[in-house]
Amino acid sequence: MQTNSCRLIVNVGWVFFVLFGRGCMNYMFPASYAWGNFSVLAVGIWAIVQRDSLDAIMMFLTGLLLTVLTDIIHISVFYPPNKYLIDVQRFSAGMAIFSLLLKPVSCYLAYRMYQERGGE
């Protein structure tokens, strides 16, 4: 039986996957954006499946915090000037920004899962 925070993080994970997937659809950001977010999503799935592992949830939380930083860098460095921005790029950047805004919620839920599993 799953706990409430586990259910919430699964639902937030699906939204996170859809948003960062749409952020990658126009190749506006480099491949490191997609690989970083996809690897954190894979570690998140591992953390949910390994219900008794503190290391898995801590790796997921650390990865989320690192991708917040790298997403800010990717969006600020690779966002094109407004006169060269087409609609698909604007949509892709908007989805990447929404994904970035959702990550603090994911961090909070991952921290609650860490506490439920016996973390500090």
Which phi and psi angles does 25 have, rounded to 5°? -70, -15
Confidence at residue 95, expressed as pLDDT on a 0 to 100 scale: 85
Closest CA to 96 of 14, 17, 10, 8: 17
Query: Crossing angle, helix 31-49 and helix 87-116, to 10 degrees?
Result: 30
Give the global pTM: 0.81
Q: What are 16-68's pLDDT values in tens digits?
A: 777 777 777 777 888 888 898 889 888 988 888 888 888 888 999 999 999 99
Q: 60-116, pLDDT tens digit by residue?
A: 999 999 999 999 999 899 888 877 788 888 888 888 888 889 889 888 888 888 888
